[in-house]
Structures are given as structure tokens and as C-alpha cells.
Structure 1
């Protein structure tokens, strides 16, 4: 809305000024999600989050508006993804199959299995195995569903209990922040094959995109995506195994 002087009011100025921020955050999030998620949907949801931030923000909050807006925008996008359940059941089923194969072969071999060994174990050609990894692109290390209780304590809940804190058990955020879970994750990462370990460091620590990582590793962007899916499968299998054996 314009004032009587023909100028945008303060709220509209904030919306116009920070609209590019919504697009930036949407593309950052899209890079970690399957192709089925449309970036335009993320942007639309993010704009609603920005509008909410503009309406709720007060200068006396003590925080810069952009810092506050980022939280509201990301929160809106994540809420939309949760409600839409963007990961099809087939994707999660495929990833569980990969996780199970990794866990079984690691127990048999005493080391991380190769792609060829995993494909053979699942009765797939290496091409079909790579296609399965492509389908799992964007699969997350942790899902909110991982904290559910279906009659048997989930491996993440087990890590929370391992800290002997009744306040941690059942609280997803506290579980993820717990020393037991972080130690388990560090150990699982240390067990990754060297190339996958480097990939995860470049992606999550250096924040390189898949194309940039491909240039470092000397492989295609699609190959990086496959290796990332496989690394996530190894980490989830490792975390599950530690929980099952009571190791924190």
C-alpha cells in the first residue's frame, strides 16, 4: 500500500526488499529435495512466511528483521513439506531396502560394502542400483517420523534414553542435540568410505552444490547425487546398528 505521498509504507517496503531472500532460501532448500518438489511452490509458501514475519515483527524484539524473517520463511517451507509428505512411500521403501542391505553386508564383511556388492545382494544390476539411488535423491538423514513410537522404541529415541535424561526422551530437538546422538553420528561418518566422507564434508561443511562437488571429485552431478544417497543410507544404517546394540 502507498501513503498519501505516493510512497510504500514500511511493511510493503520490507516485503519488496526481502522478496529475493525468499527465492534464495527456496533454491537452497530445493537442492536438498527430490525433483518432485517444485521450487515455485516453495517460493509461494516462503512469501507467506515473509508476510507473517512482516506482520509479527516488532523493532523491540532485539533481532534484525532479516534474521527473524529467515526463521519464519524456512519454518513456513518446512511446515508445507511436512504437510505435503513430499517423499513418496516408494522412495522411503527403496531407502530402507538400501539401508538393510548395507547393514547386513557390513556385518558379514566387517567393512563398508561396495556398490557392486550391494547391487548383487539386492539382486540388481549396477545400472538398476544406480537408478534406485537416483530415486532416493533428497532422502534425509533424519525424518520427524523417526521419533514415532510404533510399539518399539525407535533408534533415535534409544539415543535419547542413553543419556539418562527423562527430559530428552520423546523430544526430537533435545535428542538431536544430545551427546549420545552426536557421538553416534560422528562415529558413523568416520566409517564412511573416503570419497563419500569427502562428499559429505564438501556438501554440509563447505556448502558446495552438487555440480561443484562433481568438479572436485571428477564425476558428473548425477553421480554425486547417487553417492550422496548412498552415504545417507550408510549413515542411517550405522545409527540404527548402534542403537540396536545399545552403543551410544
Structure 2
């Protein structure tokens, strides 16, 4: 098996990068319900690692570990999608929240407040916040949510040319710009939360300390932010398809 590092045995590859696979699995587990098994994600990640090794080319210009990390995580996301790990009830709640956010954004021309979303859904603010709590973890932003219904692996869909560098596609694709714009449109506190969580790597408890709210409240705000992002991404995909 050839890589930029020379010929290696599969067993050596797995041993060398097993800590990376486990670390990525643990990072993903932090966003998922307890029903998801760590071992399932690790196993999928190992397959993603082997796939990365077989596809990697030194001429792509990316470090192998960087390239492998993307493919490992993509394999884990594909595994979650196939497992359909979120219950039907939880998915229904997430859809209802997103539908309400979309209705209000179209009507108001801005991001709606929590109280406005609760009123639109005809529930109390407390009930709405409980719904956000329940939806936490089931709202991963899948690329396939916005780009058709084919069954290609997650990373392969990031470029129409499968010989191109998937990492470069991930960084340069229009999705990145759309997502950045959607994040900029978030309310200030939710935008700060996303920065602390995804850019600075703080956990929910640490973010709660920064925002001076409880950990459960951070979960609620995170779910709400993800709902807003998913709505923006779908709207942009629809607009692009009409051009």
C-alpha cells in the first residue's frame, strides 16, 4: 500500500492512526444521544481510514492526516445516516422547529426570536425549549440534505470530479461560503456559541460558563442555531437550483 510515507502494512496504518479515529469518534459522540455506540463509530472510522489510504495521492498537496481526518469523519456520518439512529419522534420535533423557523424568516425577513417560534408552533416558551433539548444531537448538517438524493459517500459528493482533492473541495465549495453567510446571519449569542463550539473546541459546560447559562441552555441554543442553519442552506440550495 503506497503513501507519501512509503509502503506500510495495513496493521501498522491502523495502529498508527487508531488514536486519531477514536478522537474523531469521541468528538462526534459529544453531539449524539447516548444510544449511539462508540465502537460503531470507531469501526466506521477505521474503514474510512483504509479508504483514505487507498485514495490518497501525494500530488493532492494535502497532508495525509488532514485528508484522512475528513474521510474518517465522512465515513462516520454515513454510518449514522444508515443507522437512522434518531427516533421518529425526535426527527419529527426537529422538522417542526425547522418548518416554523422557515415560515417566520420568510414572514419577518429576519431570524425569529424564541418566543416568536414558540408562538408560531402554538406551544409555551418552556415547551419549545424542551423540544430544543430533545432535538439536540439529531440535527447534524448533512451535505446530502441539500444536494440531491444519490447514495454516493459523503466526501465523494463534495466534488463532481472524483480525482480532485476532496479536502480542497470541502474548503472551496460554494457550500462553505453559504454556510459562512448563514452563520453570520445568526443572532449574536448563537453565533458566539457556534464559534466557541466549533472553532475553539469548548464543551457545553465551558460554553455555559462563558455565556453565563446552564449546560442544558447551551444545548437548546445549539439546537436552535442548527435549525436556522439548515433552513438557510435549504433556501440557498433551492435558489441556486432555480438560477
TM-score by length of 2: 0.70
Cα distance 1:114–1:44, how it changes in 2: closer, same or farther (>3 A)? Answer: same
For 1:106 and 1:124, locate their aligned partners in 2 and report how far apart those are by CA, in whole Å. 18
Q: Alpha-carbon deviations, 1:131-187, whole Å to 9, x = none?
A: 21122212123342432269xxxxxxxxxxxxxxxx69xxxx8699444x4443333
Cα distance 1:53–1:199, how it changes in 2: closer, same or farther (>3 A)? Answer: same
For 1:72 and 1:187, locate their aligned partners in 2 and report how far apart those are by CA, in whole Å. 25
Q: Alpha-carbon deviations, 1:27-51, whole Å to 9, x = none?
A: 012123333322232234334555x
Is structure 2 residue 148 aligned with structure 1 residue 148?
yes
For 1:239 and 1:73, locate their aligned partners in 2 and report how far apart those are by CA, in whole Å. 24
Number of equivalences:
217
For 2:17 and 2:176, locate their aligned partners in 1 and report how far apart those are by CA, in whole Å. 35
Q: Alpha-carbon deviations, 1:184-239, whole Å to 9, x = none?
A: 33332222111001111112222222222112111122211111110111122233
CA contact (8 A) 1:53 1:68 kept: no
SS class of match (1:147): coil
TM-score by length of 1: 0.69
- 1:38 is matched with 37
Cα distance 1:149–1:75, how it changes in 2: closer, same or farther (>3 A)? Answer: closer
CA contact (8 A) 1:15 1:54 kept: no
Structure 2 unaligned spans of 5+: 1-7, 151-159
- 2:18 is matched with 19
Is structure 2 residue 187 aligned with structure 1 residue 193?
yes
How is 1:178-217 mapped onto 2 (pairs within 5 angstroms)?
Answer: 178-179=173-174, 181-217=175-211
Cα distance 1:116–1:84, how it changes in 2: closer, same or farther (>3 A)? Answer: same
Backbone CA RMSD of aligned residues: 3.8
CA contact (8 A) 1:103 1:237 kept: yes
How far off is 1:101 after superposition? 1.1
Cα distance 1:14–1:229, how it changes in 2: closer, same or farther (>3 A)? Answer: same
- 2:133 is matched with 134
Cα distance 1:149–1:175, how it changes in 2: closer, same or farther (>3 A)? Answer: farther
CA contact (8 A) 1:45 1:80 kept: yes
Is structure 2 residue 227 aligned with structure 1 residue 238?
no
Cα distance 1:117–1:69, how it changes in 2: closer, same or farther (>3 A)? Answer: closer
Farther-moved stretch of structure 1 (67-76 vs 30-39): 67-76
Cα distance 1:112–1:48, how it changes in 2: closer, same or farther (>3 A)? Answer: closer
Structure 1 unaligned spans of 5+: 1-8, 151-166
CA contact (8 A) 1:11 1:54 kept: no
CA contact (8 A) 2:53 2:68 kept: no
Is structure 2 residue 218 aligned with structure 1 residue 224?
yes
Cα distance 1:235–1:65, how it changes in 2: closer, same or farther (>3 A)? Answer: closer
Cα distance 1:22–1:231, how it changes in 2: closer, same or farther (>3 A)? Answer: same
- 1:82 is matched with 81
